[in-house]
């Protein structure tokens, strides 16, 4: 480290001073002779510093947990048509079991955020993955719909908890200039996991049956949980608020190629200036009420549309006379389109901000769903399957990038809580989809199902238009 000169201040790329007037030059901060102790501002270090190899690895393994979240979460959608035929039950009989899983996701989303903000993001991610992995494995032993419902509820606790916790990990390890893309790249792993689940199901279901589908899917998740236990670190922005864990933070900063002295003082000044109170009430402070309510409505409507596809799309297609393999390809196409849409929307948001890309995707998602009502499923099957890919493109583009908006709207102390609360409210839309999907498919068939998707996407557009604090466009 460079020493201070008699003339005043010198620059160092790693160490900041506790000073009332810190100076930044080309991404560096300065040391002042007025400072009693040397300090490192974790917020500036993370937001404006380089993206180290460790940070990239952490974002990658957070993404892996979300891939497994989407994988295990969507296995049931592929198994439903087979179980309806094997057990002789109706779509309506299955609705409570599917809803139980979605209720679990809502509870898991709400409590995981609170636990992550209080006890740490690392533990929330690991526990969530282990819970849904073990519960998914046990579904393979189920003998009736009640057992499937109970196990889906437990799995839902983990599936719901993994998403906001992993997203927060990705957000808090990524520099500000790359944060939107990094968050979206992790969230996009939900449809990516679903796409992999579709390919997996197309191999396992006809050869090994539905029980093996859950045995193998659950085993993969549990193995990932053990990997996370050994390699996933706690986030620096969580550790900086707990002085007793500063030794752990020093080691972590060192692993990020920024060695610091043992007597270093850590700060996060920008976040601490705007943080008044932790917990749920802070979501409605400092002008956040409008954005919080609008985001809750947006998540509700978007998850209503998305989970109507995740849960019922293969079943709807089989009810229209398509075989299980082709019906499964509809959901695979939906997820594949979602992966592309989320990545392209994230790039657009990085350049143009979040307002117009999200509004455009919502409107086009509505238009696509309504257009598909005109497609003849018997004569134009390939067009319908491709159309679901396009609808998935727009619906998942919005779903994945809304997490980046949450990360922008809420400060560190309530970021996980804010994201989790929006997702928990959104799970109510997903729960509604379990019952509405069964009813709409029975009464209105394909056209009724698509009309429901279109109306939900129109409501989503209106909700996103109300959000005031969108991610701003990049300055050129």
CA proximity to 338, closest of 402, 397, 401, 426: 397
| Interval 164-182 mean pLDDT | 79
Structure tokens at 353: 């901000």
Most confident of 26-40, 319-333, 339-353, 412-426: 339-353
CA proximity to 67, closest of 193, 155, 250: 193
Instruction: Give pLDDT, residue 236.
Output: 82
Instruction: Give pLDDT, residue 10.
Output: 33
Neighbouring CB atoms inside 10 A of 34's CB total 12
Q: Is the dihedral of CA 97, 115, 231, 193 positive or negative?
A: positive
Distances (CA, A) of 152 to 308, 324, 427: 17, 22, 14
**Fold entry, domain 53-236+275-466:** Growth Hormone; Chain: A; (1.20.1250)
**437-456 pLDDT tens trace:** 778 888 888 888 899 999 99
CA atoms within 13 A on the CB side of 63: 20
pLDDT band for 25, please (50, 70, 90 cuts). Answer: very low
DSSP 8-state assignment for residue 233: P
pLDDT at residue 12 above 50?
no
CA distance 156 to 411: 27
CA distance 335 to 363: 19
Mean pLDDT of the chain: 80
Structure tokens at 174: 């990524």
**Between 34 and 73, whose confidence is greater?**
73
Query: Which residue in this structure is represented by tokens 């049931």?
Result: 76
Instruction: Give pLDDT, residue 189.
Output: 81
Structure tokens at 113: 């955020």
Instruction: Give pLDDT, residue 275.
Output: 52
| Interval 98-106 mean pLDDT | 85
Pairing of β 28-31 and β 10-12? antiparallel
What whole-number percentage of the chain has pLDDT above 70?
86
Mean pLDDT is lowest, of 29-33, 60-64, 93-97, for 29-33
Domain residue ranges in the chain: 10-47+257-274, 53-236+275-466
Instruction: Give pLDDT, residue 295.
Output: 94
- Give helix 289-319 / helix 412-466 axis angle, nearest 10°: 70
Instruction: Give pLDDT, residue 454.
Output: 93
pLDDT at residue 130 above 70?
yes
Neighbouring CB atoms inside 10 A of 261's CB total 11
Strand partners, 266: 40
Instruction: Give pLDDT, residue 206.
Output: 86
C-beta contacts of 261-264 below 8 A and 24+ residues apart: 261/38, 263/37, 263/38, 264/15, 264/38, 264/39, 264/40
Instruction: Give pLDDT, residue 213.
Output: 93
Helix or strand (DSSP H, E) at 107: helix 91-119
Mean pLDDT is lowest, of 100-114, 239-253, 322-336, 391-405, for 239-253
Q: Where are the beta strands (DSSP E) in 23-66?
A: 24-25, 28-31, 38-41
Most confident of 22-36, 151-165, 228-242: 151-165
CA proximity to 211, closest of 76, 317, 310: 76
pLDDT band for 223, please (50, 70, 90 cuts). Answer: very high
Structure tokens at 265: 């003082």
Pairing of β 10-12 and β 24-25? unpaired
Mean pLDDT is lowest, of 6-10, 149-153, 280-284, for 6-10
Instruction: Give pLDDT, residue 175.
Output: 80
pLDDT band for 118, please (50, 70, 90 cuts). Answer: confident
Q: What share of the chain is helix, strand, coil (3-state, %, to 5)?
A: 75, 5, 20
CA proximity to 260, closest of 252, 269, 270: 252
pLDDT at residue 27 above 80?
no
pLDDT band for 274, please (50, 70, 90 cuts). Answer: low
pLDDT at residue 144 above 60?
yes
DSSP 8-state assignment for residue 37: S
Cβ atoms 126, 229 nearer than 8 A: yes
What whole-number percentage of the chain has pLDDT above 90?
23
CA distance 463 to 42: 34
Mean pLDDT is lowest, of 123-132, 222-231, 276-285, 307-316, for 276-285
Q: Can you say whether residue 248 is alpha, beta or left, with left for phi > 0 and alpha for psi between -120 and 50 degrees?
A: alpha
CA distance 377 to 465: 34
Instruction: Give pLDDT, residue 3.
Output: 37
CA–chain centroid gap for 428, Å, is 16
pLDDT at residue 356 above 70?
yes
Structure tokens at 187: 């969230």
Structure tokens at 93: 């009989």
| Interval 272-300 mean pLDDT | 78
Instruction: Give pLDDT, residue 22.
Output: 39
- pTM flag (> 0.95): no
CA distance 166 to 58: 10
Instruction: Give pLDDT, residue 476.
Output: 59
Strand partners, 265: 39
């Amino acid at each position: 480290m460079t020493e201070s000169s008699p003339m005043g201040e010198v620059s160092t790329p790693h160490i900041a001073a506790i000073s009332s007037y810190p100076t930044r030059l080309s991404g560096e901060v300065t040391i002042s002779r007025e400072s009693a102790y040397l300090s490192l501002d974790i917020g500036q270090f993370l937001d404006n510093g380089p993206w180290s190899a460790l940070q990239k690895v952490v974002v990658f393994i957070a993404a892996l947990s979300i891939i497994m979240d989407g994988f295990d979460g969507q296995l049931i959608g592929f198994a439903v048509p087979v179980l309806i035929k094997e057990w002789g039950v109706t779509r309506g009989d299955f609705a409570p079991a599917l809803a139980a899983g979605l209720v679990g996701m809502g509870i898991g989303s709400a409590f995981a955020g609170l636990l992550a903000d209080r006890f740490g993001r690392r533990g929330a991610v690991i526990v969530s993955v282990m819970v849904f992995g073990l519960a998914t494995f046990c579904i393979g032993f189920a003998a009736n719909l009640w057992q499937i419902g109970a196990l889906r509820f437990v799995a839902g606790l983990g599936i719901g908890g993994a998403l906001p916790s992993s997203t927060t990990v990705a957000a808090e390890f990524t520099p500000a200039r790359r944060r939107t893309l990094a968050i979206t790249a992790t969230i996009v792993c939900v449809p990516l996991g679903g796409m992999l689940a579709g390919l997996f199901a197309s191999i396992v279901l006809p050869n090994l049956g539905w029980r093996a589908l859950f045995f193998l899917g659950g085993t993969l998740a549990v193995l990932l949980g053990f990997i996370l236990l050994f390699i996933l670190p706690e986030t620096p922005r969580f550790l900086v608020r707990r002085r007793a864990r500063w030794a752990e933070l020093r080691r972590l900063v060192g692993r990020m190629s920024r060695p610091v002295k043992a007597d270093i003082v850590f700060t996060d000044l920008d976040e601490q200036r705007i943080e008044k109170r932790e917990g749920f009430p802070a979501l409605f402070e400092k002008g956040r009420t409008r954005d919080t309510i609008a985001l809750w409505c947006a998540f509700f409507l978007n998850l209503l549309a998305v989970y109507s596809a995740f849960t019922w799309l293969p079943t709807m297609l089989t009810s229209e006379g398509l075989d299980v393999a082709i019906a499964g390809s509809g959901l695979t196409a939906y997820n594949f389109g979602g992966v592309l849409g989320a990545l392209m929307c994230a790039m657009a948001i990085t350049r143009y901000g979040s307002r117009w890309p999200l509004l455009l995707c919502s409107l086009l998602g509505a238009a696509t769903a309504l257009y598909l009502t005109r497609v003849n499923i018997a004569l134009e099957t390939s067009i319908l399957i491709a159309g679901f890919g396009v609808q998935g493109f727009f619906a998942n583009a919005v779903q994945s990038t809304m997490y980046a908006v949450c990360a922008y709207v809420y400060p560190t102390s309530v970021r996980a809580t804010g994201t989790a609360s929006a997702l928990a409210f959104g799970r109510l839309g997903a729960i509604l989809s379990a019952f509405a999907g069964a009813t709409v498919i029975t009464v209105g068939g394909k056209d009724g199902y698509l009309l429901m998707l279109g109306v939900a996407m129109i409501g989503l557009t209106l909700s996103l238009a109300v959000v005031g604090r969108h991610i701003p466009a990049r300055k050129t």
